[in-house]
């Protein structure tokens, strides 16, 4: 109770401070600030450092090219330690500083969602590269995400399966947790709408290792394609058992499988598996190539999808600022909504009113024991 009272008190103080500071980030100096809230220490420090590298890279580049309408951008980095309480305190700090125009972050859905109310009240854009919880962007009008959620990936995969691969008889095997149920639900709904017949939807309990019964059943139903929202440990177990049962379906799955572990544990059994991903280092699209090259040159390491998503978050934000200027926090939102087909490292991105991205994912597949670009 004491804690709650303190927080409420602090919020009140901050609101007052905001009132005294006047509306909006009116600052005469030749600088504008962007906040970055990310876990730089703790269990997720690696992801936080991906964010920091990419966002720094974008902002340095924009500054070198003359900044936003002549104003240099200052990046204010705060360590949320992967702690939802910490990200709220950071949000309050950013909001209280009239120089901060918008914020990038946080990494996890829980940290991002916890801070959402603070940004919403200040009408400040909160753009998270990775927060994927469906409800987050519904918490207000200033939340923007870069990563494609299951609400997007599911129907995207359904279109891939039904429209592009021309598969009409489909079965699914999915992990019975929040993520898997959603992934399956959105896929199945869209696939049915597109005229596909769903032969079976088989769920398995997380931790299940015996898939022989499910596989024998599917083998009998002879689906043209099996869709599998799973993680690599389950997926490779399913595929190895399928191979043993002489069942070799065409398989479409999710970005969750994008790992060398899938290749190591799946061996021959996972050959031909197709998945969509946010970022792939040999994606031929110029924006992805530019990012990969720049990142390697600057940091001497290969970027991962978290770095690519953070790069796009910062890129989207600076593009929006260039369009609407730096006079008002609230207008940054309009700037982002106005960007159509922004060429990012993770594909072209557009926002509709929902502020979840509509994007073209990268299609990849397993061939000769490696992840390669998908070829029909």
Partner 1 sequence: MGAVSALTMPSFVIEQLINGLTQGSVYALLALGFTLIFGTLRMVTFAHGEIYMIGAYVGFEIIRALHPNFLMALVAALAATAALGIVVELLAFHYLRNAPHATSLLVTIGVSILLVNLAQKIWGPETQSIPFSLLDRLGDFEINLAGVYVTFLQISVLGVTLLLMLALYTLINRTKLGRVIRATAQDYEAAYAMGVNVNAIYMAAFAIGSMLGGVAGVLVGVYYNLFYPTMGGLYGLKAFSASVVGGLTSLPGAVVAGLLIGLVETFSVEFGASNFRHAFSFVFMILILMLRPGGLFGGRELAHMRGD
Closer by beta carbon to partner 1, 231 or else 351: 231
Alpha-carbon 86 to chain mean position: 21
Candidate list 43, 60, 164, 210; residue touching partner 1; CB under 8 A:
210
Q: How far is the CB of 200 from partner 1 (least distance, A)?
A: 8
Candidate list 55, 214, 309, 364; residue touching partner 1; CB under 8 A:
214
Q: Measured at the alpha carbon of residue 331, what is the angle toward residues 53 and 91, in degrees to the nearest 5?
A: 50
The residues, ordered by sequence, that sit 6+ positions from 22 with a Cβ below 8 Å of its Cβ are 98
Rounded CA separation 179/310 (Å):
22
List C-alpha distances in Å: 358 to 30, 135, 254.
Answer: 34, 17, 17
Phi (first) and psi of residue 369, to 5 degrees: 75, 20
* Residue 220 interacts with partner 1 (CB under 8 A): yes or no: yes
Rounded CA separation 87/173 (Å):
37
* Residue 42 interacts with partner 1 (CB under 8 A): yes or no: no
* Residue 258 interacts with partner 1 (CB under 8 A): yes or no: no
Candidate list 17, 45, 75, 245; residue touching partner 1; CB under 8 A:
245
**Nearest to residue 201, comparing CAs of 185, 224, 219?**
185
Candidate list 198, 233, 324, 339; residue touching partner 1; CB under 8 A:
233
Closer by beta carbon to partner 1, 241 or else 292: 241
* Window of 81-89, 236-244, 332-340, 349-357 that interacts with partner 1 by CB under 8 A: 236-244
- Contact (Cβ atoms closer than 8 angstroms) between residue 96 and residue 13: no
Candidate list 9, 42, 66, 267; residue touching partner 1; CB under 8 A:
267
Q: How far is the CB of 242 from partner 1 (least distance, A)?
A: 12
Q: How far is the CB of 174 from partner 1 (least distance, A)?
A: 9
Q: How far is the CB of 45 from partner 1 (least distance, A)?
A: 19
Candidate list 165, 203, 298, 339; residue touching partner 1; CB under 8 A:
203
* Residue 216 interacts with partner 1 (CB under 8 A): yes or no: yes
Rounded CA separation 274/84 (Å):
35
The residues, ordered by sequence, that sit 6+ positions from 132 with a Cβ below 8 Å of its Cβ are 109, 145, 147, 149, 150
User: With helix as H, strand as E and coil as C, how does 85-114 read?
Assistant: HHHHHHHHHHHHCCCEEEEEECCCHHHHHH
Q: Coil, strand, or helix at residue 297?
A: helix
The separation between the first and the last C-alpha atoms of the chain, rounded to the nearest angstrom, is 60
Closer by beta carbon to partner 1, 60 or else 264: 264
Closer by beta carbon to partner 1, 166 or else 217: 217
Size of the site for partner 1 (CB under 8 A): 28
Closer by beta carbon to partner 1, 218 or else 310: 218
Contact positions vs partner 1 (CB under 8 A): 176, 200, 202-205, 207, 209-210, 212-214, 216-217, 219-220, 233, 236-237, 240-241, 244-246, 264-265, 267-268
């Amino acid at each position: 109770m004491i804690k709650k009272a303190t927080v409420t008190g602090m919020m009140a103080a901050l609101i007052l401070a905001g009132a005294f500071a006047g509306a909006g980030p009116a600052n005469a100096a030749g600088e504008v600030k962007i906040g970055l809230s990310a876990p730089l220490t703790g269990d997720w420090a690696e992801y936080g450092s991906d964010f920091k590298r990419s966002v720094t890279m974008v902002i340095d580049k924009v500054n070198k090219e003359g900044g936003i309408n002549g104003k240099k951008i200052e990046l204010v980095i705060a360590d949320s330690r992967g702690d939802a309480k910490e990200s709220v305190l950071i949000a309050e700090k950013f909001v209280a500083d009239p120089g901060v125009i918008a914020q990038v972050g946080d990494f996890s859905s829980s940290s991002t969602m916890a801070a959402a109310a603070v940004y919403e009240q200040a009408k400040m854009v909160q753009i998270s590269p990775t927060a994927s919880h469906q409800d987050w962007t519904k918490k207000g009008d200033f939340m923007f995400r870069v990563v494609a959620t299951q609400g997007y990936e599911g129907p995207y995969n359904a279109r891939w399966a039904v429209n592009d691969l021309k598969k009409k008889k489909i079965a699914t095997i999915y992990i019975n947790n929040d993520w898997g149920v959603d992934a399956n639900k959105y896929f199945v709904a869209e696939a049915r709408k597109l005229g596909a017949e769903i032969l079976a939807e088989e769920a398995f309990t997380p931790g299940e290792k015996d898939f022989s019964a499910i596989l024998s059943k599917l083998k009998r139903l002879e689906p043209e394609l099996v869709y599998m929202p799973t993680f690599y440990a389950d997926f490779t177990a399913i595929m190895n058992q399928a191979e043993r049962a002489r069942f070799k379906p065409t398989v479409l799955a999710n970005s969750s499988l994008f790992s060398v572990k899938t290749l190591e544990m799946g061996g021959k059994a996972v050959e031909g598996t197709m998945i969509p991903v946010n970022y792939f280092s040999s994606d031929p699209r110029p924006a992805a190539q530019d990012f990969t090259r720049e990142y390697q040159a600057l940091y001497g390491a290969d970027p991962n999808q978290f770095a690519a998503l953070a790069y796009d978050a910062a890129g989207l934000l600076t593009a929006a600022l260039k369009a609407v200027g730096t006079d008002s926090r609230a207008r940054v939102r309009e700037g982002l909504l106005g960007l159509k087909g922004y060429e990012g490292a993770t594909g072209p991105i557009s926002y509709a009113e929902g502020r979840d991205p509509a994007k073209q994912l990268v299609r990849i597949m397993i061939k000769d024991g490696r992840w390669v670009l998908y070829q029909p």
